[in-house]
Each structure stands twice: as C-alpha cells, then as structure tokens.
Amino acid sequence: MSTPALVTRALSKSFGSLAVTQNVEITVPHGARYALIGPNGAGKTTLINLMTGLIKPDLGSILLNGEDISALEPDARVKRGLTRTFQINQLFPNLSALEAVTLAVLERQRTSGVWWRRLPAFGAAIEEAHAILQSLRFGSDTERVTRELPYGRQRLLEIALALATKPKILLLDEPAAGVPKDESAELFQAIAALPSDITVLFIEHDMDLVFRFASRIIVLVAGAVLVEGTPAEISADPRVREVYLGKGHRHG
C-alpha cells in the first residue's frame, strides 16, 4: 500500500510530572475515517495540538505522507495539508462568515499579502468561499457577522474555515460539541459527505455517532493508546468497556 497519510512515532509530552501523551503510535491510512475516543482528560485534544504543532512534543515525531513535519510551525503544517478545527469555537467575531472563509482561501492561495489590490478583484476566491459554505448547507446568512450567527452555524463555519485550506487530513476536535443531538447527526452527515480523498480523524463523545461514521476507532486512556480497531472490535473489547463505556455495560 501507499504511504499512510498520518503517522505518529513514539509521541510523548509531559506537563511537569503529568504525562499527557505517552508513546503514542498512530497510523492513519489515506481516505480513512478514524475516531479518537477516550474519557475526559485522556489527552485527545493534546494529541491534536501536538499533531498540528500548537505544542511541541518532548519526544517522538509526526509524519505527513511520509515526511517528517515535527519541526514545522502550525501554519506551515496547514500549508502541507494538515488542518484542524477547534472544540471551542475559534472564529473571527466581527468578520462575516463569507469574509472569514474568503480569508482562509486567500491564505491558501498565498495572496493574503497583496495590499495593492482591493478584495473585489479576487472574485474567484470569494466565489469559492461561498461554494464551500453552501457545500456545508450553511444557508443564506453568509454576510452576517460571525458573532450574530446561531451556534449551529458557527460550528459549520469552524469546518468551513478548515475546508478552505484544502486539507489532505482533517482533524476535527468534537465538531458537534454543544450542538443538540438531532443537529449533530446532520453535522456528521456533512462530514461523511466530504470527498473520500480527505483523511479524517475526529474526536467525539457520542458513541452512536462514532459507530456510525468511523471506519476505525482509537481509544486513548491516560495519554496512551489502549486499543485500536474496527467499531465492532472496540464495542466487543472488555478493556474498553471497563475504562470507557463504564462498568454498567459489562452486565448489560
């Protein structure tokens, strides 16, 4: 098979005496839909922060399409195709949704440094931003400032900003966090409808969604990988039931 999309080798990180990431070795093949699950404080977001370069690992390396990206800054990793979304909205409150996504498109095209031409001259970027928002069924509020958008739309905008970077690998940190259950399934439909050449690794607490949308599941406990497998294997694994699904399930 071809080189995997994303590989972590012996990734480790400690904050003082607290080991938040311990010798994590993950291999995500091209086009896969992986879920990263684990109890609160298992180090899931930390792992995404390490992969995207927001924090530096104490040990280990990260490979993107076989290339070591451990030394690259976060924006350089995005340029290589590794993009994330945030569990807590990280948006641009006083920009409209369309402006924000247009900005992300311009950054990808490396035209964001152009100061001598006005924005209307970049019609193709604006149209692409509009198309991205519509592909997520964002609706007609694209010109409203972000802070006035309903929360569900803001979560869509989180994903739209990431898509505008044309990611090869998309890391979604609880994309449906705070979204009502009926809407969160809809949101995951949009994620499932992403082109199959985009590799997706997502963190999610709702097991129904995980089992529906993930091809494989990685279980993280106390900063280390406990087990990795297909949804069927994971749901049958007694260790997972013990630490994650709760002891009630053993008898139920």
**Which range, of 56-64, 157-165, 198-206, 228-236, touches other proteins by CB under 8 A?**
157-165
Q: Which is nearer to other proteins, 137 or 250 (CB)?
A: 137
150 lines the binding site for other proteins (CB under 8 A): no
Both tokens assigned to 159: 């994903």
111 lines the binding site for other proteins (CB under 8 A): yes
Q: Strands (DSSP E) along 129-215, which ranges?
A: 169-173, 199-203
Smallest gap from Cβ 178 to other proteins, in A, equals: 18
The burial class, CB within 10 Å (0-12 / 13-18 / 19+), for 132 is buried
Residues β-bridged to residue 63: 7, 68
Interface pick for other proteins out of 137, 181, 239, 249 (rule CB under 8 A):
137
**Pattern of binders to other proteins over 58-97, x per CB under 8 A?**
---------------xxx--xx---xx-x---xxxxxx--
CB 188 within 8 A of CB 181: no
Interface pick for other proteins out of 1, 17, 118, 252 (rule CB under 8 A):
118
Smallest gap from Cβ 52 to other proteins, in A, equals: 7
Interface pick for other proteins out of 113, 195, 238, 248 (rule CB under 8 A):
113
CB 230 within 8 A of CB 240: no
Interface pick for other proteins out of 103, 169, 209, 217 (rule CB under 8 A):
103
189 lines the binding site for other proteins (CB under 8 A): no
129 C-beta neighbours (distance < 10 Å), count: 26
Both tokens assigned to 241: 């039931």
215 lines the binding site for other proteins (CB under 8 A): no
Interface pick for other proteins out of 130, 144, 216, 241 (rule CB under 8 A):
130
Cα four-point dihedral sign 165, 169, 174, 180: positive
Tokens 């997502």, located at residue: 202
Q: Which is nearer to other proteins, 131 or 192 (CB)?
A: 131
Tokens 């070795």, located at residue: 25
Within residues 158-177, the interface with other proteins by CB under 8 A covers: 161-162, 164-165
Residues β-bridged to residue 208: none
Both tokens assigned to 124: 């193709």
Cα four-point dihedral sign 48, 54, 60, 66: positive
230 lines the binding site for other proteins (CB under 8 A): no
116 lines the binding site for other proteins (CB under 8 A): yes
Cα distance between residue 129 and residue 126, in whole Å: 5
Interface residue list for other proteins (CB under 8 A): 52, 73-75, 78-79, 83-84, 86, 90-95, 98-100, 102-104, 106-108, 111-120, 122-123, 125-127, 130-131, 134, 137, 139-140, 142-143, 161-162, 164-165
